[in-house]
Amino acid sequence: MKNIVLTGMMGSGKTTCGKALARRLGREFLDTDAMIVSQAGKSIPEIFSQEGEPAFRDWETAICRQLTDRENLIIATGGGLILRPENVELLKARGVLVFLNRPADLIFDSTSMAGRPLAQNGKAAFLQTFAVREPYYRAAADAVIETFPSVEDTVTEILRQLYTLEGVL
């Protein structure tokens, strides 16, 4: 079965919904950010501050390459991973991309921003980043999910949309 790859801004529910989706489908769950932290031996803020954003984006691409020979996974991606076309191509080779669209102002107001690189410059900068990224999320997506207040309702909507795609479920 194809991988189900969740994309969207940080705080959109990729990890939470991904874990719930994996439980419901009996699949393995992977988080690309967690894989980077494990392999780099540093936190994401440390990578950003010590090596810079381009180095972090290189880590994301390396992780995408590692996932190209795996199937039947639920994968939560970092929010900026889709900015590199190569990453999208690598993930689409074995999966479908699902954009979890949660309003950016709601994300900023309801998500813990402590230690998150995107939060360092305030709400206006966060909203601008979302405005830049949203077209990338939509262009890469095989399905767009307007997130629900409950995780279970969001997972149900993901499954409803994915049932129409061949080789996913």
Residue-level pLDDT at 68: 92
* Residue 133 annotated as lining a ligand binding site: yes
167 is a domain residue: no
Q: Which pair of tokens denotes residue 92?
A: 């689409």
Instruction: Find out whether 77 is annotated in a ligand binding site.
Output: no
Q: How confident is the model at residue 92 (pLDDT cuts 50, 70, 90)?
A: very high
The reply to whether 142 falls in a domain is yes
Q: What is the CATH number of the domain that holds 140?
A: 3.40.50.300
Q: Which domain holds residue 28?
A: 3-162
Known binder of ligand: residue 167?
Answer: no
This prediction's pTM: 0.92
Residue 31 among known ligand-binding residues = no
Total domains, the chain: 1
Whether residue 114 lies inside any domain: the answer is yes
pLDDT of residue 126: 85
Annotated binding residue 38: no
12 labeled binding residue? yes
Q: Decide: helix, strand or coil at residue 9.
A: coil
Region 132-152: mean pLDDT is: 94
Average pLDDT estimate for 27-40: 98
Q: Is 14 annotated as a binding-site member?
A: yes
pLDDT at 116: 58
**Residue 33 marked in a binding site:** yes
What stretches of the chain show up as alpha helix (H) in DSSP?
A: 14-25, 32-40, 44-51, 53-66, 85-92, 104-110, 122-140, 151-162
Annotation-wise, does 94 bind a ligand? no
125 φ, ψ to 5°? -65, -40
* Residue 169, pLDDT above cutoff 70: yes
